[in-house]
Amino acid sequence: MAKALVGHISGRDTNMLREVVSLRRRVADLEAEILRLQSRNDALSAAARERDLLDELQAARVLEPALH
């Protein structure tokens, strides 16, 4: 009976194998998309920080003459 169970568990179901391959491909695609989006987010965050710093510098220059 044990041999029958092992054969049933490890038997090759082509539909299941095809689905597993498809799911693994989908997971890999989603992981690649996550990396792309994280990279894009990092670039946008850096640009926003740079813009904020430039805005602060510009505001400081505008306020500076009034202080003298």
Per residue in 54-68, pLDDT (tens digit) is: 888 888 776 656 555
Report the distance separating Cα 66 and Cα 30, nearest Å: 54
Q: Which residue has the tokens 């202080």?
A: 67
Using CA atoms of 41, 45, 47, 49 in order, give the dihedral in degrees to the nearest 10. Answer: 180
**How far is Cα of residue 63 from the mean position of the Cα atoms in its chain?**
41
pTM of the model as a whole: 0.59
Query: How many Å separate Cα 30 from the centre of its chain?
Result: 8
Residue 12's SS3 state is coil
pLDDT at position 32 is 98
User: pLDDT (tens digit, 9 = 90+) per residue, 2-54?
Assistant: 666 555 555 678 889 999 999 999 999 999 999 999 999 999 999 999 999 88
* Residue 51 confidence (pLDDT): 94
